[in-house]
Chains A and B, each alone.
Chain A
Amino acid sequence: MLARARVGLRSPVVVSVGLGFALSFLVGGVLIALVGQNPAEALRVGFEGAVTTKRGLGNSLVFATPRLLVGLGACVAIRSGVFNLGGEGQLQMGAVGAALVAVLMGPMVAPLHLLLALVAAAMFGGIWAGVAALLQVQRGASVLITTLLMNFVAIFFVQYLVQGPFQGETAAYNSSERIHASAELPVILPGTRLHLGFALAVAAVVFTVVLLHRTTLGTEFRAAGFNPRAALFSGLSPRRLVISSMFISGALGGLAGAGEILGVQYRLLQGFSANIGFEGLAVAFLAGLSPVATLVVAILFGALQSGVLQLQHELGIPVSIALIMEGLPIVCLAAARGLSLLRGGGMGSG
């Protein structure tokens, strides 16, 4: 076990992520064989659905967008030492904010409609996360648990809205009225579904990097995350840092929800996020909480999603395979990092 630990310590994150994904493709191949399909053929079809066709590539980036935004939110919070596991809830609340503005406000705000919807989403997500932050600083209730629980409050809140007061009159399924065209995120690559949200998410990567590494606030965030006691003694206010990092983190999660409503679904509907918030968290963990690596892993996850979707269309293979392939490398990576703790390295969670 010690010998393996040394290997774990010396190998950089890139290698363990690579090994993790190699393992998940292996497992994916075995699963595909078990459901009675040819793995090689599936790999070809999946690749076509995710990378080699223009449409497929667009889909991959569409799938990557919310996972990237939630992942960036996780980077900001967790690197500040605040365990925000509420990406799913913040995404749901962001979707509510975006949908309220996009459906209820008419075209009279047309030139600013999209912008208003995005701001509302960021505010809703940020405030939702801020509640958890307040409960921690005021009441000592760790965000780790409150955010997990608040995810479900938000999920049921969206269900309540679209089954009740916000249900559209013409809507067949539990969903709201269609949003106004003036609030849509426009398609940026003709012939695909790729919308402006992806460009915003990439801009958010730059924002996150600048925030964490080029601003005083970001330096304080990282100091608090790296050594909370030392940060406290050097005069930083933990209350302010917890609340501001959670607000920014939640706002990014809220934007992820906005992207889904304004760029993909065009209405608020029940179950629009099948676990995206948790996947976004997983993306950030796999990326070692580095914003740039989060971009790369989010695109990988997006490609996996759209590849597996293609497998479902063409070969009838269940999409749930994608979740297995996404979760496995994270568990492996956590174990590899843990083993390297033996020699004092690794990312401790505290």
Chain B
Amino acid sequence: MTELIGTFFWASAVRLSAPMFLAAIGETVVQRAGMFNIGIEGMMLVGAFAGVAGSTITGNTVAGFGLAIVVTAILGFLYGVLVAGFRADQVVTGIGFNIVVIGATSLLRSSWLSERIVSLSPGILATHAIPGLSDIPFVGQVLFSQSPVVYVAYLILPMTSFFLFRSRPGLLLRAVGEQATAADSAGVPVVWIRIAAMTFGGMMAGMAGAYLSIVATSGVFIDNMTLGRGFLAIAITIFGRWKPFRVALAALLFGAAEALQFSSQAVFGGSVSPPVLLMIPFVLAIIAWAIMGRGSSAPEDLGRPFVRSSQ
């Protein structure tokens, strides 16, 4: 069990929690604006594909990452237009969207990408220890010997928190999620704010996906490779009570659950079947969800389409 307090375990936990955190922080903003993004699973998968495709075309993983973010920002915008602008049912749209994405990414992989893929190395996105900070015992190894994407995530966390709770646009966004009708009467552009939130959610899911394919699996895209991580991000958002720092802690917990696969021998005292290890984060999420339930701190208008009553 000493493995569980070792730097290796926690460094792996941070590394594996990064995609969960990125997707969940986007989902936090989306849910704060009053929507569920069931399509997050598909957006992550698009990010994973676009990241590898962009890296393959340009030979540069940073450009691949950029492409993933641009593509998922556009998708997030369009998705926002559908669910906030057209009031398309959020669950139905998400399910349909995810099916289209699994098909489209698989089609592009088999008919186009698989012929040109060369071995990709993460390049700049590989682990880079931060000089100085990485020398701090334990913390330095765990937090500051990571991919630069993880460092970007460290910046996104306080920025999102500041945006949501200390800025005027953030206040308006929360108002839209709590009381869309009241916000509308006060002249807040409800629909546009929701579309903007969904665009951000898409970008973050795209980053998460690109991290999975470029950094975590070193440039390989496998069909449906997100394997429910997008849905886990929704659970993490709720588990984190829609508060960015709590969401980050929840993501770290799930990263730790995933990191068990590297230490399972030492922790469980024998080899554990890989599917069982893959199952653990989902079981954990269900238990967490059952313990917390949907408390009163949920945005009040979460999941409700906004319809202006007097048209």
Contacts and interface: CB of A to CB of B under 8 A. Distances in A.
B189 interface: no
Contacts of A186: none
Contacts of B103: 320-327
Provide the main secondary structure of the chain A interface.
helix
Among A35, A282, A335, chain B packs the most CB atoms within 10 A around the CB of A335
B95 A149 contact: no
B307 to A, nearest CB: 6
A135 B286 contact: yes
B305 A338 contact: yes
Contacts of A347: 89
A285 B99 CA distance: 13
B155 interface: no
Contacts of B238: 145
Contacts of A334: 82, 88-89, 92-93, 96
Nearest to B308: A342
B92 A326 contact: no
Interface stretch (A46-54, A117-125, A154-162): A154-162
A324 B98 CA distance: 10
B107 A320 contact: yes
Contacts of B99: 275, 278-279, 282, 323, 326-327, 330
A329 B99 CA distance: 11
A105 interface: no
Contacts of A152: 227-228, 231, 278-279, 282
Nearest to B42: A327
A321 B103 CA distance: 6
B279 A282 contact: no
A153 interface: yes
Contacts of B307: 341-342
B89 A337 contact: yes
Given A323-B102, A324-B104, A328-B100, A145 B95 contact: no
B78 to A, nearest CB: 10
Contact of B96 (A163, A322, A328): A328
Interface in A1-57: 31, 35
Interface in A311-350: 318, 320-331, 333-335, 337-339, 341-343, 347-349
Among B82, B90, B286, B289, chain A packs the most CB atoms within 10 A around the CB of B286
Given A146-B290, A327-B103, A330-B96, 17 more contacts: A141-B289, A148-B228, A149-B228, A152-B279, A278-B99, A282-B95, A285-B89, A285-B92, A318-B111, A320-B223, A324-B103, A328-B96, A331-B97, A338-B87, A338-B89, A349-B91, A349-B303
24 contacts: A35-B111, A135-B289, A141-B293, A142-B294, A144-B91, A150-B282, A152-B228, A156-B276, A275-B102, A275-B224, A279-B99, A320-B106, A324-B104, A325-B103, A328-B96, A330-B93, A334-B92, A335-B93, A337-B88, A338-B89, A342-B87, A349-B89, A349-B91, A349-B303
Nearest 9 A/B pairs, CB to CB? A323-B103, A330-B96, A140-B293, A327-B100, A327-B99, A338-B87, A159-B275, A320-B106, A334-B88
